[in-house]
Amino acid sequence: MTFKEQVLYIRRHMKKNRLRVFMTILATTMGTAFLIVLASIGFGLHETAEREILSNANITEVKVWADQMEEKDIRTISQLPGVHIFAQRSRVTIPDSVYFNEIESNGELELIDYDIERQLDFKLKEGRFPETDREVVVGYHFGESFIDGEKKDVLGKAIQYVIPKDGEEEDGEQFEDTFTIVGIKEAPAREWNSDSTIFVSRTYQPQIMDVYKQFEPAEEMIDSLFYNDYAIHAKSAEVVKDLKAEIEALGYNTYSVLDEIEQFDLFFTAFKMGLVFVGTIAVLIASIGIFNTMTMAVTERTREIGVMKALGMSPKLIQRLFIMESAWIGVLGTAIAIVISYGVSFLANQLLPLILEFAMKDEGVVDAGITFSTITLPLILIASTISIAVAIISGFRPAKKATKIDIIEAMRTNM
Domain ranges of the chain: 3-55+263-412, 61-255
The pLDDT tens digits along the chain (415 residues) read 677 777 777 777 777 778 888 888 999 999 999 999 999 998 988 888 777 776 655 778 888 877 778 788 888 888 888 888 888 888 887 778 899 888 999 888 899 999 888 888 788 999 999 999 899 999 999 988 888 888 889 999 999 988 877 654 455 567 888 999 999 999 886 666 788 999 999 898 888 888 777 766 555 555 667 888 888 888 887 888 888 888 888 888 888 888 878 887 888 889 999 999 999 999 999 888 888 888 888 887 778 878 877 878 888 888 888 888 889 999 999 999 999 999 999 998 888 777 777 766 655 555 556 778 889 999 999 999 999 999 999 888 888 888 777 777 766 665 5
Question: CA 124, 125, 128, 131 torsion: positive or negative?
Answer: negative
Kind and range of the H or E run holding 105: strand 103-105
d(CA 174, CA 215): 9
Residue whose C-alpha is closest to residue 92's, from 187, 188, 255, 229 = 229
pLDDT of residue 172: 56
If DSSP codes are grouped into helix, strand and coil, which group holds residue 403?
A: helix
Nearest to 379 by CA among 342, 330, 332: 342
Distances (CA, A) of 248 to 15, 60, 62, 170, 244: 69, 16, 11, 47, 6
- 69 closest CA partner among 203, 275, 253, 221: 253
Could you give the C-alpha distances from 172 to 163, 169, 175, 215, 222, in angstroms and in order?
11, 6, 10, 11, 21
pLDDT of residue 129: 93
Contact 162, 211 (CB under 8 A): no
pTM over 0.95: no
Q: What is the pLDDT of residue 356?
A: 72
Strand partners, 254: 64
Using only C-alpha atoms, what is the Rg of the chain?
35
